[in-house]
Amino acid sequence: MPPKAAGCAATRRRWTRCRMTDADRRLEALAAQAGHDASPAARPAGRYASFARAGELLHSSGVVGRENGAVIAGTIDDSDAGIALGERAAVAAAIALLRAARTELGGLDRVQKIVALTGYLQTGPGFTQHVRVMNAASELLRQVFPDQPLPARTTVGVASPPGGGAVEISLVLQERSAD
């Protein structure tokens, strides 16, 4: 039997069938490269679901980037260090969301398409590098799903994401139909 992927576990509704697919392997290789261990998938911190389904679409809740269990916090500014903070947080949040999607679906091979990516960046007035920061999350998605087109994307600067996180992201995924 193939090894279980990080983030695969039982959900309240059902046991997920988790196996390592090509997309799962790419995600975990990129996560290891970025210094993220095989930690569990993102889970709700409040009274809400990780995903809400509408037909074949799954809308994720927002997830802030974390390293070693701690929120990657701070205000992103136009400096190189500020941009690097934002990129690191965006990649960490994308990894956590894809691990949560794998848990929800039983494997990333069930993702037909990433339809939309939304990013909320903790920024101050005058910040101008929103696109550059969120390109890091888009690039991770492109590397995990190289045969898919990039998703639509919205990015906004905000004053206070949950936990003081530098970046919070959410995804809309289209599930592959059962053949």
SS3 for 150? coil
Read off the CATH number of the domain in which 91 is found: 3.30.1330.40
> Are 5 and 107 a contacting pair, CB within 8 Å?
yes
pTM (two decimals) = 0.84
Whether 3 is in a domain gets the answer no
Q: How confident is the model at residue 15 (pLDDT cuts 50, 70, 90)?
A: very low
Q: Which domain holds residue 65?
A: 22-43+52-175
Whether 166 is in a domain gets the answer yes
The average confidence (pLDDT) of the chain is: 86
pLDDT at site 36: 66
pLDDT at site 23: 82
Helices (H), the chain: 22-33, 80-105, 130-144
Give backbone dihedrals phi and psi of 55, rounded to 5 degrees, phi first.
65, -125
More confident residue, 39 or 161: 161
Whether 34 is in a domain gets the answer yes
Determine what percent of the chain is predicted with pLDDT higher than 90.
Answer: 66
What's the structural domain count of the chain? 1
Mean per-residue pLDDT, 117-146: 96
